[in-house]
Structure 1
Amino acid sequence: MKTSHSFTLTAAAAILASVLLSGCNQANSSTAATTAEAVIAIPVEATLARQGEISSSYRTTATLEARAEAEVISKATGIVQKILVEEGDKVVAGQLLAQLDNERQQYSLNKEQAELSRLGSELKRMEEMFQRKLISADVFEKLQWQYDALQASVNMAELALRETDIRAPIDGVVSRRYAKVGQLINQHATQSLFHIVSNQQLEAVVHLPEQQLAQARVGQNALLQFAGMTPVTAELVRISPVVDAASGTVRAILKVANAQQLLKPGMFAQVQLQFDVKANALLLPKRALMSTDNNQTVFVIDSENKVSRKQVHLGYQADDTVEVLSGLAPGEQVVIAGQSALKDEALVNVVTVREF
């Protein structure tokens, strides 16, 4: 009887030990699983796919040029007597810039005018005689021709006198003054006296690759960026109908308004020609993309912090942003940093959600 009681106690102790051991194993297993989960949760940065504006564009460089400029020369020979403008002065077409000595031209004009006056009086008398049929029509007509020829000589003398005044051929700014007081100017030497540029409107010449021609249209806008200045808007106004066979490019002209004349010919610009703009496109930062076998994919994070790889089809591309045409929905959370260590169904820890 004693032996049976001892056996019962031993069996009960064994069962209790077994239960305790089982409980410890379950606790240890749960702790290990939790630890494993913490280890495999990969830290990543993410962003939300959003809708916004993006444009199809082409980037290049250009140098500003004056739309109109002129080298001012003299049509007369003479010595410079007066200079009325200096470099940097604004001028309008027809404004007096300088004067040459004109005594010789003035004397020549006075002589021709006196001769014309004498011949005019004689022609008047002859006309009265012709009306009275005292002279033949042949005599009167010859005198009329002489008068007309002398009138032309007077006009030429007046023109020669006017040409001693050097005037601006266009509106603009005097960029260079070559003339000096006392300098002898020879009309046959084509000496430049002034250089005038029109700064009210400038041009930028860009050379578009042949493959961009399908998107380029007259009237499209461009954005010009200058060092240390606010970006300036320009307009595409001309596209050459000929492709340069040597470079495979097409010459295109941008019109740049410069009413405040802050821009100067010769300035260097970074040009972004905007072919088309979408106002409500689905956007992602470029760094979210992974290229696999010429396909673009992204890792999308679900509500359980697990990722799945999705293929996306892209549209327009900007500097740091791309348009997603299909494969993604607005508001989905996409990995933008740390995706190289991921695979489908991987658990992630989203450290930061960045805006773009």
Structure 2
Amino acid sequence: MKRVIIIIVVVVVALGAIAYVLSNNKKKNEEKTAFIAKGGGAVAVRVASVEKKVVDLDFSANGNFIPNKELNFLSENAGRVKAIFVDEGDRVTKGQVLARVDAEIINTDKETAQAAYQNAQRDEARYQSSYETGGVTQQQLDQAKLATRNAKLRLQASQRRVSDANIKSPINGIVNKRYIEVGAFVNTQGTQLFELVDVSKLKLKVNVNESQVASLKVGDQINIKSTVFPNEKFSGKVTFIAAKADATLNFPVEIEVSNNAKNSLRAGMYGTAVFNFPKQAPSILIPRTSFVGSVSSNQVFVLDQSNNTSKIRSVVTGRILGDNVEILDGLKEGETVITSGQINLTDGTAVSIVK
């Protein structure tokens, strides 16, 4: 008996739900019918006036500062760290010695290469003298000259290794991290020694949309604001504009920013790029929804106010500015375009304006 009651309750609830859905659909259909009926048999539409407006292209974009130069400095020679001359946070200049690797073995290799080169030079001189008196052949002399050149190259390589025992900074910057200590052994596989960053100039990476990127070009001067230093003024220059949008349909832009004398800005801080453009002449703008299908169709319906009918019109579009589109040709100021209901229109269809 209990099971029968449950089944009856479920059926009643289901029938009630179906009745509610049908009633709701009927109400929506009646609203649509009433909307059309407002036009007294004509197609109900919404309209907008064609106006000339001043286009404001100025905008701002937020991003993060990154170093202009960043280098993870690796070892080139094997050996034990003998001395370290800098610490984290120190400013360094290009060519400055940061640390020194024990060069005892390297110096031994250099001395050996020097002796081999001198010996090869003496052998070449003897072969040259013997060749002039007919004691050796041209081939033997050539081999002696080749041995001298090879010995010289080995000497130059060993001299370079001795020079590299003094680890020098390849850039001007700041020691952000130090990975070695005195007595540590580094190898030729590329032991990480220092992380160097140059913040005398930074890059601000921002993203802009399609309408904004159209107004930018490489070399544009940009004002930069820092959230940490609101009273400081910074300037930048656009150095990169992506040729392809990313997954969010935005375009990455990089701006090179000059730091102040105190190098107040640091990599990782937030910044705002303020893009200011010259004042634009007024342009004819219409809502983006005015177009038949999409903006690419280059067609709109214009309201013929003499008899309240729709007239198809071909236009030439310019820039897409948010929800508005610039019209270069095809419309005049003071005309009226239809912004909704185009799907029910053809050329000459009677319309009724719904506000």
TM-score w.r.t. the length of structure 1 is 0.60
Structure-to-structure mapping, 1:59-208, within 5 angstroms: 59-188=60-189, 190-208=190-208
- Show CA shifts across 1:12-62 (max 9, x none): xxxxxxxxxxxxxxxxxxxxxxxxxxxxxxxxxxxxxxxxxx963222211
Among residues 237, 246, 260, which one is paired with 1:235 in the alignment?
A: 237
What's the offset of the Cα at 1:93? 1.8
- Structure 2: state its 5+ residue gaps: 1-54, 283-289, 291-320, 322-332, 334-355
State the secondary structure of the residue aligned to 1:278: coil
What's the offset of the Cα at 1:124? 0.9
* Equivalent-residue separation in structure 2 for 1:198 and 1:210 (angstroms): 32
What's the offset of the Cα at 1:143? 1.1
What's the offset of the Cα at 1:197? 0.8
* 8 Å CA contact 1:224, 1:232 repeated in 2: yes
Deviates more, 1:61-70 or 1:209-218: 209-218
* Equivalent-residue separation in structure 1 for 2:88 and 2:233 (angstroms): 28
State the secondary structure of the residue aligned to 2:272: strand
Would the alpha carbon gap of residues 139 and 87 (structure 1) be closer, same or farther in structure 2, given more than 3 Å must change?
same
* Equivalent-residue separation in structure 1 for 2:93 and 2:102 (angstroms): 23
State the secondary structure of the residue aligned to 1:225: strand
* 8 Å CA contact 2:242, 2:252 repeated in 1: yes
- Show CA shifts across 1:199-252 (max 9, x none): 1211001111122122122232323222342232222222111122x2101111
- Identify the residue that residue 223 of structure 2 maps to in structure 1: 223
* Equivalent-residue separation in structure 2 for 1:74 and 1:122 (angstroms): 37
What amino acid maps onto 1:221 in structure 2?
A: Q
- Identify the residue that residue 29 of structure 2 maps to in structure 1: none
* 8 Å CA contact 2:234, 2:259 repeated in 1: no
- Identify the residue that residue 297 of structure 1 maps to in structure 2: none
Structure-to-structure mapping, 1:245-324, within 5 angstroms: 246-260=247-261, 261-274=263-276, 276-278=277-279
What's the offset of the Cα at 1:131? 2.2
Deviates more, 1:221-230 or 1:194-203: 221-230
- Identify the residue that residue 33 of structure 1 maps to in structure 2: none
- Show CA shifts across 1:55-100 (max 9, x none): 6322221110111111111111111111111222222222211001
* Equivalent-residue separation in structure 2 for 1:150 and 1:115 (angstroms): 6
* Equivalent-residue separation in structure 1 for 2:86 and 2:74 (angstroms): 15
Identity of aligned residues (%): 21
- Identify the residue that residue 18 of structure 1 maps to in structure 2: none
* Equivalent-residue separation in structure 1 for 2:77 and 2:199 (angstroms): 28
* Equivalent-residue separation in structure 2 for 1:207 and 1:220 (angstroms): 16
* Equivalent-residue separation in structure 1 for 2:134 and 2:117 (angstroms): 25
What's the offset of the Cα at 1:169? 1.5
What amino acid maps onto 2:147 in structure 1?
A: Q
What's the offset of the Cα at 1:115? 1.8
What's the offset of the Cα at 1:134? 2.5
Would the alpha carbon gap of residues 55 and 197 (structure 1) be closer, same or farther in structure 2, given more than 3 Å must change?
farther
* 8 Å CA contact 1:55, 1:277 repeated in 2: no
What amino acid maps onto 1:227 in structure 2?
A: T
State the secondary structure of the residue aligned to 2:205: strand
State the secondary structure of the residue aligned to 2:175: strand
What amino acid maps onto 2:220 in structure 1?
A: Q
- Show CA shifts across 1:258-290 (max 9, x none): 14112111111133222x133999xxxxxxxxx
State the secondary structure of the residue aligned to 2:72: strand
* Equivalent-residue separation in structure 2 for 1:135 and 1:259 (angstroms): 71
* 8 Å CA contact 1:69, 1:196 repeated in 2: yes
What's the offset of the Cα at 1:182? 0.8
- Identify the residue that residue 32 of structure 2 maps to in structure 1: none
* 8 Å CA contact 1:74, 1:164 repeated in 2: no
* 8 Å CA contact 1:237, 1:254 repeated in 2: yes
Would the alpha carbon gap of residues 277 and 145 (structure 1) be closer, same or farther in structure 2, given more than 3 Å must change?
same
* Equivalent-residue separation in structure 1 for 2:138 and 2:125 (angstroms): 14
* 8 Å CA contact 1:218, 1:237 repeated in 2: yes
What amino acid maps onto 1:212 in structure 2?
A: Q
* 8 Å CA contact 2:93, 2:169 repeated in 1: yes
* Equivalent-residue separation in structure 1 for 2:138 and 2:79 (angstroms): 45
* Equivalent-residue separation in structure 1 for 2:260 and 2:169 (angstroms): 20
* 8 Å CA contact 1:77, 1:184 repeated in 2: yes
TM-score w.r.t. the length of structure 2 is 0.60
- Identify the residue that residue 213 of structure 2 maps to in structure 1: 213
* Equivalent-residue separation in structure 1 for 2:260 and 2:233 (angstroms): 15
* 8 Å CA contact 2:234, 2:260 repeated in 1: no
- Identify the residue that residue 57 of structure 1 maps to in structure 2: 58
Would the alpha carbon gap of residues 220 and 118 (structure 1) be closer, same or farther in structure 2, given more than 3 Å must change?
closer
State the secondary structure of the residue aligned to 1:200: strand
